[in-house]
Structure 1
Amino acid sequence: MASLRSISANGIELSVREAGEGPLVLLCHGWPELSYSWRYQIPALAQAGFRVAAPDMRGFGRSSAPAEVGAYSIFDTVGDMVALVSALGATRAAIIGHDWGAPVAWHAAQFRPDVFTAVAGLSVPPPFRGRGRPLDTLREGGITNFYWQYFQKEGVAEAEFERDIDLTMRTLLARGFSDPALSLFVQDNKGFLGGNACADHPLPPWLDENDLAIFSQAYKQSGFRGGLNWYRNIDRNWELTAPWQGAQIHQPSLFIAGEKDAVITGLIGNKRVKEMERVLPQLKRKLIIADAGHWIQQERPDEVNAALIAFLKECAT
């Protein structure tokens, strides 16, 4: 049974779910999620002999949500994880991230190989730092309506998502980034949810009404600003990571994604998956799970857990 407590780290408070004893493993969730997204992994990893800590990341759930947009850079979010390891009385950990948590995990391994001895990313491939700022690159390519761009103006996406949080969470989690009806390109005057929000949209088998209520209640309390501020640092992150241009991650690594996840099926994502060994020379396994979408650790917990446990037992003990 996981316990829940607040831990001071890197100048903020992190709400952390913990379970188990043994080598430390951090689980970093993505957007729009919570530490609850790891509800299937926490007990399984603890049972397998690991000490598991899954925080609500900065800006999410019960953790601190600084007001400043600039407080959500990759240095801040990785800094939280470095400080969390120390606050837990450890000096080393394996780190696993999904969605936005994956860049945190990849960069944590890249920035602090002395702390993070093994790394796994779910759904989002490792960092390939391009030649220009990502938002500039989109504009130069004639793209002006990608969801990253829609999220940039403070207050706009917040207003859309917070108008009916129950409906927002049902739409985002039940349809997600694998449903072609929920486009990552935002049509004028339709918002990110477009015309796809439906109060009686059926939930997938991996998400029940109780799960959905837990996510919705958390966002009713926190709002969406904190998580959206991660997107507002995309160009700044590119600037901050200049010293790691072309750098590799030399720790043992693992990648897991769903076959139908739009993050890896697009032209850029597909290329990054195929070429990730350039960044991950110690990649142990690249697992693409058939007929699965973006919320992979919730959708297919048995396969994800088996892959994570095998990886951790080989590389993090």
Structure 2
Amino acid sequence: MKRVSFAEFGGPDVLRLVDAEEPHAGPGRIRITVRAAGVNPVDWRIREGQLLKAHPVELPAGVGLDASGVVDEVGEGVTGVAVGDRVFGEGVSTYAEFAVLSAWARMPQGLSFEEAAGYPSVVETALRVIREVGVRSGQTLLVSGASGGVGSAVLQIARARGITVIGTAGAANQDYLRGLGAVATTYGEGWVERVRRLGRVDAALDLAGSGVIRELVELTGDPRKVVSIADLGAPELGVRFSGVAGSVPDALAEAVDLLGRRALHIPVEKTYPLAEAAAAHIDSQAGHARGRRVIVV
């Protein structure tokens, strides 16, 4: 089979499309023929060797955590799913023609493979950081870097919970944020004062790693009310860096519920073939996304 792999840590140029042995579903796992794989910032952080403590890597290594596809092997002890089922979920080395998943859910009706591949990690992350930052119904949450996949999920989940969201993004994405129910403003010079004019901020999330931790602490008045998923230096300022996933099966179940109620929709901004995984990483690292980027197999 074909899969995307890297034999050394580095930039996007270390990614190669190679021939590899097919993986197989062990106990408690399923294998899918991959139809699409979500592109997440954690993918290129792992490729660069940034997250070795949380994600140990043995080289050469595959790439990707999220995928959607059709079940073609069911491991020992697995129930409730059968060969031929359309599923989405999380596993390892998902930029490939076949991948083994450790957590999955059946795809809701009407959801394409490309759309489904964009949900697993971002919904888990969104649910986790909302929980960790401790924001409640009736309060206001500031989201820095709100237009990407995680931001899109945070905005919609928070809205469903009665939380007001102020989102920062580029000028081109202001209407997109408003369409998701956020109070939108641009980043750049003067952004702190623009946020202040919008009202009190009870908690804040840094989703872009754009060097705004000090300002977020200033706006909330307490580093314990700020959580980052993108700035590895956040703990130096007393801010929690959230990098350890919670329950992916629970997150997938909530995603299915939200999708079924039409309370969640994350658009696919761009798709790439397997051979262009490096281009997908370059675009992901550049930021400014509106929704998700997806590898199509």
Q: Same fold (TM over 0.5)?
A: no
Q: Greater share of strand residues, 1 or 2?
A: 2
TM-score if structure 2 supplies the norm length? 0.27
Q: Greater share of helix residues, 1 or 2?
A: 1
TM-score if structure 1 supplies the norm length? 0.26
